[in-house]
Amino acid sequence: MRKKIVAGNWKMNLDYNEGVSLFSEIVNMVKDERKGDQLAIICSPFIHLNSLAKLGGNDVKIGAQNISDKESGAYTGETSAKMVKSVGAEYVILGHSERRQYFAESDELLAGKTKTALAHGLTPIFCIGETLDERNNGSYYEVLKKQLVEGIFSLTEEDFKKIVIAYEPVWAIGTGLTASPEQAQDIHAFIRSEIEANYGFNVADDTTILYGGSCNPGNAASLFSQKDIDGGLIGGASLKSRDFTDIIKALNS
């Protein structure tokens, strides 16, 4: 049975003290709302990881927002999977649209990052999504399939079963726009069908697929009620403890 997950992505927000304060609020609130088979994750900037891992316990897991594809070496400014794992993180976001857009991360690079993450015991939250132009011109199925094939479909079945996928319509990130529950379900079902074609029904049925496009307390329940949507990758709403907790509550509705 696939996991139900709400993962917060703080992006480049909050200084050290602000992050610790918000996370403490989230932990105290989530412990009363999260059911045993659900996961709450916060993916913070690197500066918070060690401290948050000590505070989260079993109630809120910790993830990074990026890693290098390199193991170590003369790569100034980069952070390795081994480093991230050593401070208590268990998850890492890979392929977020902002990394693809602003830092020109290719599917080939992301394939390498995914394998590096898995080799060090981190669970990738692998993001795919289409732009507004790709949505409007009808090429979005091909775009999403390419991101899957070139990014993660080279994994062995054993490794693929360890990852989480997040569908994030790029046109709905930070814009206030949201895919309708029906639009989101259509894409999630497509992703699951592509997984089934490559790895079989059982693997596809067990793969957690999150929705990540302006999900908030007002629309979370309708999104999460869809058959193939297993939770959310949350941006702005994860910076407010009440909003993030209410989204977790929506998993139960």
pLDDT on residue 253: 74
pLDDT on residue 36: 73
pLDDT on residue 219: 94
Alpha helices (runs of H) in 31-93, residue ranges in sequence order: 49-56, 81-86
Longest dimension (CA), the chain: 49
pLDDT on residue 179: 86
* pTM, to two decimals: 0.96
Q: Which option is the CATH number for 5-250: 3.30.420.40, 3.20.20.70, 1.10.4080.10, 3.50.50.60?
A: 3.20.20.70
Please count the other Cβ atoms lying within 10 Å of the Cβ belonging to residue 73. Answer: 8
50 is in an annotated binding site: no
pLDDT on residue 1: 80
pLDDT on residue 172: 82
- Alpha-carbon distance of 179 to 177, in angstroms, equals 7
Active site residues: 96, 168
Residue with structure tokens 């060090």?
Answer: 120
174 is in an annotated binding site: yes
Instruction: Give mean pLDDT in consecutive 10-residue pieces for the chain, a chain of 253 residues.
Output: 94 98 95 84 98 91 98 98 98 96 96 98 98 92 98 98 96 78 96 98 98 92 97 96 96 84
Residue with structure tokens 């009440």?
Answer: 242
Kindly list the domain boundaries of the chain, sorted by start residue.
Answer: 5-250
pLDDT on residue 132: 87
10 is in an annotated binding site: yes
Supply 10's token pair. Answer: 């703080």
